[in-house]
Amino acid sequence: MPLALLLQSSPGNKLISLGFIDILVIAIYFAMVIGIGFYLKRFATTGNDFFMAGRDMTAWIAGLSFVAANLGSLELMGWAASAYQYGILATHWYWIGAIPAMLFLGIVMMPFYYISRTHSVPGYLKLRFGEPSRALAAVSFALMTVFMSGINMYSMALVMKVILGWDINFSIWVSSLTVAAYVFLGGLLSAIFNEVLQFFLIWLGAILISIIGLIETGGWQGMVNRIHHNFPDQDYTHMWSTLGSFSDNPMGIHWTGIVLGLGFIISFGYWTTDFLVVQRVLTARDLRSAKMAPIIGASFKMAVPFIVILPGLLGLAVLPFKLVGEAQQGVGVHTYNEVLPIMLARYCGPGLLGLGITALIAGFMSGMAGNVSAFATVWTYDIYRAQIKKNATDMHYVSMGRWCTLVGVLISIGTAYFVMQFASIMDYVQALFSFFIAPLFGTVILGMLWKRATSAGGFWGLLAGTASSIGMYAWVKLDPSALRIIALSPHAKDMAENMYRALWSWIICVTVTVVVSLLTKPRPLSELTGLVYGATDIPSEGHLKLYQRPIFWAIAVTIVFFILNIIFW
Rounded to 5°, angle at Cα 456 from 455 and 460:
120
Say if CB 420 and CB 338 are below 8 A apart. no
d(CA 525, CA 536): 10
Q: What is the pLDDT of residues 46-55, one digit of tens each?
A: 666 666 655 7
d(CA 141, CA 134): 10
d(CA 110, CA 277): 12
**DSSP count for the chain of H helices, then E strands:** 24, 0
CA distance from start to end of the chain: 40
Please give the domain boundaries of the chain with CATH numbers for all domains: 20-567 (1.20.1730.10)
φ/ψ bin of 322: left (φ > 0), alpha (ψ from -120 to 50), beta (otherwise): beta
User: What's the confidence (pLDDT) of residue 81?
Assistant: 86
User: What's the confidence (pLDDT) of residue 72?
Assistant: 66
User: What's the confidence (pLDDT) of residue 11?
Assistant: 44
Buried b (16+ CB within 10 A) or exposed e, 424-442: bbbbbbbbbbbbbbbbbbb
Write the DSSP string, 513-552.
HHHHHHHSPPPPGGGGTTTSTTS--PPP-TTS-GGGSHHH
d(CA 230, CA 250): 14
Q: Which residues pair with 335 in a beta bridge?
A: 324
* In the predicted structure, residue 15 carries a pLDDT above the cut 70: no
Q: Say what percent of the chain tops pLDDT 70.
A: 84
Q: Which residues pair with 284 in a beta bridge?
A: 57
The length of the chain, given as a count of residues: 569
CA nearest to 398, candidates 193, 191, 188, 195:
188
Q: Which amino acid is at 508?
A: I
d(CA 535, CA 448): 10
Backbone angles phi, psi at 57, to 5 degrees: -85, 145
Say if CB 345 and CB 13 are below 8 A apart. no
Say if CB 162 and CB 342 are below 8 A apart. yes
d(CA 166, CA 14): 8
Q: What is the pLDDT of residues 319-371, one digit of tens each?
A: 877 777 655 555 456 777 778 878 877 887 666 777 777 777 776 766 677 77
By the 10 Å C-beta count (0-12 exposed, 13-18 middle, 19+ buried), 406 is classed as middle
User: What's the confidence (pLDDT) of residue 163?
Assistant: 64
Say if CB 408 and CB 222 are below 8 A apart. no
Q: Coil, helix or strand for 324?
A: strand
Rg, the chain, Cα only: 23
CA nearest to 151, candidates 81, 50, 203:
81
* In the predicted structure, residue 515 carries a pLDDT above the cut 90: yes
Write the DSSP string, 113-125.
HHHTT-SSHHHHH
Helix pair angle (121-129, 275-282), 10° resolution: 90
User: What's the confidence (pLDDT) of residue 456?
Assistant: 95
User: What's the confidence (pLDDT) of residue 487?
Assistant: 85
Range picked from 8-17, 258-267, 490-499 for highest mean pLDDT = 258-267
Q: What is the pLDDT of residues 160-170, one digit of tens each?
A: 776 667 777 77
